[in-house]
Amino acid sequence: MARYRCVPIDEAVAERFRRDARDDFGNPLRRVEASSANGFPCRRCLHCAEPGEAMLLGSYDLGRPRGIYWAPSPIFLHARSCRGFAAEDVLAPIIRANTLVSVRAYDAGDLCLYDLGHVCAGAEVDAPLMRALADPRTAFVNVHTARPGCLLARVERVVSA
């Protein structure tokens, strides 16, 4: 099985959002209160907000893919500072908790590998995610919410030294 890590947004991006109250495209961040257990996934700690927690909503400039398949994504972020997710071979809780996710694999040239794409419940994502990571063409995988299409996390192989 390929070793992997779920990659959160950079700390610098999270801190800039919180400090400037603007997203990557200059929009004012929306401040919202989480009103359900699984509906407010933070892209920094990769945990779902607890109901009542203050969250920020803004548009995020995905690092990759670049080129033809590039797209920005709406993201939630804890309004308070939170610790970036940093575990290996552990699926991000926000992916596991989502009712319908989209697995999107990309090659080293940032082109989408359509045959590795898959839509399923987050709780059942392990097999299609491992299939995508095991494919030698895959450079990285982005997991999105399947209905609105928002990025949940990038997933990369862990390359042992």
Query: What are the angstrom distances between the C-alpha of 92 and each of 21, 25, 26, 118?
Result: 26, 26, 28, 17
144 contacts Zn ion (rule: CB under 5 A): no
29 contacts Zn ion (rule: CB under 5 A): no
Looking up tokens 């989209």, which residue turns up?
A: 102
Query: What residues numbered 79-108 form the site for Zn ion, per CB under 5 A?
Result: 82
Nearer to Zn ion, 54 or 127 (CB): 54
Looking up tokens 């700690």, which residue turns up?
A: 45
Nearer to Zn ion, 84 or 117 (CB): 84
Structure tokens, 131: 């299939």
In this structure, is the dihedral angle defined by the CA atoms of residues 16, 102, 115 and 73, taken in order, positive or negative? negative
**Structure letter (DSSP) for residue 96:** H
Contact stretch for Zn ion (CB under 5 A) within 29-37, 56-64, 77-85, 90-98: 77-85
Structure tokens, 6: 């779920």
45 contacts Zn ion (rule: CB under 5 A): yes
Nearer to Zn ion, 56 or 103 (CB): 56
Among 5, 78, 96, 144, the residue binding Zn ion under the rule CB under 5 A is: 78
- Residues binding Zn ion (CB under 5 A): 42, 44-45, 78, 82
